[in-house]
């Protein structure tokens, strides 16, 4: 499998369809700009991969309440039903992703959570709920 690489943004722009086609077929596709190289990847493939490697959620039911928390992350929620707890956790994930983009990305204890932020941004609420329940989709 050959990597599709463009040294200049203008070359990538002229061949944008080929760049997207390569990404959709799972081929490595990159564009160089100054001293940085950007990868172009299929969003569904990236989302699936991130869902497999991001920290798993723990769901606990006790005394008529549900709790969802993600080990190692400042994200947790509770509810009187599982659905309510999952909905609250999805909202907490979205809020965390916004905060990460706004100011947490440079904090040493949050900088490594880039993958989680990408997963949240690439996922629907239903996909996040499925992931929280332990099933990558």
d(CA 57, CA 130): 11
pLDDT tier for residue 112 given thresholds of 50, 70 and 90: very high
Residue 137: is its pLDDT beyond 70?
no
d(CA 26, CA 17): 14
Residue 17: is its pLDDT beyond 80?
yes
Tell me what pLDDT residue 1 has.
63
Asked whether the beta carbons of 74 and 96 are under 8 A apart, the reply is yes
Tell me what pLDDT residue 72 has.
87
Tell me what pLDDT residue 2 has.
85
Q: What is the pTM of this model?
A: 0.89
Asked whether the beta carbons of 50 and 37 are under 8 A apart, the reply is no
pLDDT digits over 33-69, tens only?
A: 999 999 999 999 999 999 999 988 999 999 999 999 9
d(CA 86, CA 128): 9
Asked whether the beta carbons of 59 and 68 are under 8 A apart, the reply is yes
d(CA 67, CA 38): 38
Q: The sheet that has 4-6: what strands, in order across it?
A: 4-6, 29-33, 36-39
Q: In the 8-state DSSP scheme, what is residue 57?
A: E
pLDDT tier for residue 136 given thresholds of 50, 70 and 90: low
Mean pLDDT of the chain: 94
| Cα diameter, the chain | 61
């Amino acid at each position: 499998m050959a990597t599709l690489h463009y040294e200049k943004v203008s070359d990538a722009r002229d061949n944008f369809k080929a760049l997207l086609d390569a990404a959709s077929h799972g081929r490595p596709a990159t564009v160089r700009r100054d001293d940085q190289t950007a990868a172009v990847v299929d969003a569904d493939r990236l989302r699936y991969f991130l869902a497999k490697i991001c920290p798993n959620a723990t769901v606990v039911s006790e005394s008529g309440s549900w709790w969802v928390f993600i080990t190692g992350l400042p994200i947790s929620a509770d509810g009187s039903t599982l659905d309510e707890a999952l909905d609250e956790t999805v909202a907490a994930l979205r809020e965390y992703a916004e905060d990460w983009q706004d100011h947490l990305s440079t904090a040493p204890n949050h900088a490594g959570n880039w993958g989680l932020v990408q997963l949240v941004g690439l996922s629907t609420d239903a996909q996040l709920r499925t992931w929280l329940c332990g099933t990558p989709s």
